[in-house]
Every structure is written in C-alpha cells, then in structure tokens.
C-alpha cells in the first residue's frame, strides 16, 4: 500500500471538486496531476493551464475543526490523458455523471495494472466503466470503486480559486466487485480529502452506494416543485423577496409539502433496494423536514444547521440538479423499479415532469441498466456480479 501512495495521484476532471482535490493533495505533499478534456480546459482552467496554481480557501466547516488552505503549485496540469495516467497510483475521477463516458473513453487505453480508480460521486459510474472496459477488451488489473458524494461542499470562485464551504460529514463507498472493497477502502481512508470527514462507511455494493446518493431524492423534487419562482427570480429583481440571481433551493424552495414528496421518493428507493437485494443509507422520516432535508445528515457541521440554505442554485433548468440528478440518478432508480416490478409513482412523476421542463426525454436519454452492463442479468446474476465480479 505504501508503494501506491508513493506514486503520483491523477485527478480526472478540473471542475470545482477536481481543482479542490488537486490543491489538497499538492498542499499535503503528494505529487499531483490534474487532467481536463481539451474541449473544456480553457473554460474550466483558464490561466491555471499556464501557472499551475490553485488557491484553496473557504471555512471548510467540519467536526474535526480541520482546515487545509493555501496556494498550491500543482505538478502537472494537462489535457493529455496519457501524461496524467502514466505511472499514477491513485486515480480520482471528479466529473459530473453525464460526462463519465467521455472521460472513461479517454482513460481506458492508458490504464495500468495496480491502479485504484475512485469515482466521486459514483452514480453507478463504476458499473459503466467496467462495462466499457469489457466491451473494449481492456483486462487491466485495476480496482474500481465509488462514493455516495463528494467529500466537499465547494464552489469555484474562478479558475484556480475554490471556496470549500464544508467538508462532508458522512461518505459511503464500495468497489466493483465488493470483494475488492477492503483494498479500496484501506488505500483511500487516510488520504487528505478525508482529513475533515468524521465518518467513512463501506456500503453494500456499488448499487447500494448509487441508491444512497442523497442528491436525486433532495434535488429533483426540490428543484421541480420550485422551478417557477426560480425562473422568475432570474428575470426580475426581488421576486418574493429574492434578489435577482440569488435563488436557493434550500432557502427558498424547501417547505413541508416539498419534504413530503422527498420522503415519498425515498420510501420508493427503499422498496427498490429491497427488490434488488441491497442495503442503502437509512434516514428517519423526521430528517426530511428541515431546510437541508437529508442532505443535512451528510453535511452536518458543528453548532450550525444553516450551512446548506445559503448555497445558491439552481439558476436554470440546465443546472445539474435537473440535468444530472434526473437522467442519471432518478432514471436508474426507475429502470431498476421496472425490472423488478416495483411501483414508483413519485419517481416516475419526477422523470416525466423533468423531461417536460427540460424539453428532453430523460427516460430514453438517461443512464440505463444496459449501459451499466446489467440490463440482461437476473437478480441473482446482478448480485453475484457486483459482489464477486463474476458474470454469466
């Protein structure tokens, strides 16, 4: 294990969390490489492509009272995937789920035996990566796993400057297959991104991890049910007391009625998990009825229950609360439900309303079980695959 930690760390994706990962590892003394797709590098990185400098700031609120901040001079900033992956030990994938396939396609030809690939958040991306490797005949001996969420609540102020608001209180992970879980967990549990995280848990398969991501259950009902004031607030100043451009789903869109929908959504998720045969994160009914909903359980902080409400967004129907959490998270839940005969009227309603609002068909365009390599497998075959790595 020491050997892999002595190798460079490759961060794939240069968004807010990718830049935070790169800064954290660099400030902690790791040799770090940050990769971005060539088409997006000028937008996401700007002058960082030349300076290699990323400033990590923010309060980074957490129960350990830990804060790592400063100006990091990252070793390698590149749009060449081979430069990022060659000789790397740990590979952190920090990209929106809808971008998984584009990044995975770049990565697969350059993967090396012994690498440990960690996907934040997983959102069933580990299944997609394994399936793409299988189809492309890639037999590299790598460990692949993923997490329920990012280890931070972070926003990019500008390219090369990130504001880490809070460090995640609880994260759940597993590998694909789960038999690699001990190796995956032991390699990552003491790394810099988790210095301020109080609880790291091993989940029940990557399916259980995907179903435990709190984003779809919180973001999709909250965003869809408040889409009207959100859109108006972007056009008119002081709509319902909201300053133009300052709409916050947590502050302005959460109410008891919205919470009831979120709870019903979660109850349907629990039925899906039971049908598949995996365990997911458990929440009490009461945890849904506050401004942070169950996201507050993941982002708890000392002496405060108001960290999430000030976070601005969504600001349009192009925001990731719509374009990621519906076609990736919610769509997969629906496909599992259909496969195993579970009635999910709330989840289906979110999908159909979201499709109308965003003028696209998330049922057709969203992540599918076939894309994940399990569309034609029985329940027993799926469980054997995700736990043992054995396919029929």
Burial status of residue 53 (CB atoms within 10 A of its CB: 0-12, 13-18, 19 or more): middle
Where a domain ends, among 158, 181, 203?
A: 203
Question: Mean pLDDT score of the chain, rounded to an integer?
Answer: 93
Same domain, 119 and 231: no
Same domain, 198 and 247: no
Task: Domain count for the chain, please give it.
Answer: 2
Same domain, 140 and 238: no
Same domain, 277 and 186: no
Sheet holding 76-78, edge to edge: 76-78, 32-35, 9-12, 90-93, 116-119, 143-147, 170-175, 199-202
Same domain, 191 and 232: no
Same domain, 261 and 114: no
pLDDT given for residue 139 in this prediction: 96
CATH code: domain of residue 141: 3.40.50.720
pLDDT tier for residue 238 given thresholds of 50, 70 and 90: low
Same domain, 163 and 288: no
pLDDT given for residue 303 in this prediction: 62
Let me know: does 334 contact 348? Beta carbons within 8 Å.
yes
Nearest CA among 100, 127, 213 for reference residue 385 = 127
Mean pLDDT of 349-369: 96
pLDDT given for residue 63 in this prediction: 86
Mean pLDDT of 97-107: 96
Same domain, 64 and 45: yes
CATH code: domain of residue 299: 1.10.1040.10
Same domain, 198 and 255: no
Let me know: does 279 contact 204? Beta carbons within 8 Å.
yes
Same domain, 44 and 184: yes
More confident residue, 86 or 234: 86
Out of 51-65, 158-172, 224-238, 294-308, least confident range: 294-308
pLDDT given for residue 305 in this prediction: 54
User: Mind giving me the DSSP string for 26-79?
Assistant: HHTT--EEEE--HHHHHHHTTTHHHH-EEEEES--B-TT-----EEEE-SEEES
Considering Cα of 182, then 186, then 192, then 194, what sign does the dihedral take? positive
d(CA 202, CA 183): 12
Does some domain include residue 289?
yes
Grouping H, G, I as helix, E, B as strand and the rest as coil, residue 267 is: helix
DSSP state of 159: T
Instruction: For helices 345-358 and 331-339, give the axis angle rounded to 10 degrees.
Output: 140
Which domain, by its residues, includes 143?
Answer: 2-203
pLDDT digits (tens, 9 = 90+) for 44-78: 999 999 999 999 999 998 888 899 999 999 999 99
Has residue 1 got a pLDDT over 50? no
pLDDT digits (tens, 9 = 90+) for 112-126: 999 999 999 999 999
Same domain, 23 and 68: yes
Grouping H, G, I as helix, E, B as strand and the rest as coil, residue 86 is: coil
Nearest CA among 55, 50, 76 for reference residue 157 = 55
Number of Cβ within a 10 Å radius of residue 81: 21
pLDDT digits (tens, 9 = 90+) for 148-160: 999 998 989 999 9
pLDDT digits (tens, 9 = 90+) for 246-305: 888 988 889 999 999 999 999 999 999 999 999 999 999 999 998 888 887 777 777 655
Same domain, 139 and 281: no
Has residue 389 got a pLDDT over 60? yes
Has residue 2 got a pLDDT over 70? no
Where a domain ends, among 181, 203, 225?
A: 203
Please give the model's pTM, rounded to 2 decimal places: 0.94
Where a domain ends, among 180, 203, 226?
A: 203
Percent of the chain with pLDDT over 70: 96
Has residue 306 got a pLDDT over 60? no
41's tokens: 């590098």
């Amino acid at each position: 294990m020491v050997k892999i930690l002595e190798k460079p760390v490759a961060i794939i994706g240069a968004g807010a969390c990718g830049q935070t990962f790169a800064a954290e590892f660099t400030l902690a003394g790791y040799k770090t490489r940050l990769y971005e797709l060539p088409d997006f590098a000028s937008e996401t990185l700007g002058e960082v492509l030349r300076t290699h400098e990323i400033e990590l700031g923010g309060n980074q609120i957490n129960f350990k009272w830990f804060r790592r901040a400063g100006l990091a001079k990252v070793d390698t900033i590149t749009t060449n995937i081979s430069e990022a992956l060659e000789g790397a030990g740990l590979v952190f994938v920090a990209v929106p789920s809808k971008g998984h396939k584009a990044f995975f396609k770049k990565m697969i030809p350059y993967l090396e035996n012994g690498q440990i690939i960690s996907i934040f958040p997983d959102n069933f991306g580990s299944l997609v990566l394994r399936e793409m490797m299988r189809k492309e005949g890639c037999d590299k001996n790598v460990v692949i796993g993923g997490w329920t969420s990012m280890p931070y609540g972070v926003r990019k102020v500008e390219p090369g400057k990130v504001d880490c608001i809070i460090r995640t209180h609880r994260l759940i992970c597993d590998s694909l297959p789960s038999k690699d879980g001990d190796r995956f967990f032991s390699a990552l549990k003491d790394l810099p991104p988790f210095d301020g995280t109080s609880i790291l848990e091993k989940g029940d398969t990557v399916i259980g991890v995907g179903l435990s991501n709190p984003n779809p259950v919180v973001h999709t009902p909250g965003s869809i049910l408040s889409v009207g004031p959100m859109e108006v607030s972007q056009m008119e100043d002081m709509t319902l007391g909201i300053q133009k451009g300052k709409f916050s789903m947590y502050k302005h869109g959460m109410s008891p009625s919205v919470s009831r929908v979120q709870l019903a959504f979660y109850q349907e998720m629990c039925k899906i998990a039971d049908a598949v045969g995996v365990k997911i994160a458990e929440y009490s009914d009461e945890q849904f009825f506050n401004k942070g909903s169950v996201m507050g359980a993941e982002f708890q902080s000392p002496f405060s229950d108001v960290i999430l409400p000030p976070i601005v967004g969504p600001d349009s129907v192009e925001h990731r609360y719509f374009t990621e959490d519906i076609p990736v998270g919610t769509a997969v839940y629906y496909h599992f439900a259909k496969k195993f005969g579970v009635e999910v009227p709330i989840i289906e309603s979110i999908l159909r309303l979201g499709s109308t609002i965003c003028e696209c068909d998330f049922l057709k365009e969203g992540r599918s079980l076939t894309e994940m390599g399990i569309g034609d497998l029985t329940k027993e075959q799926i469980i054997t695959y995700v736990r043992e790595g054995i396919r029929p």
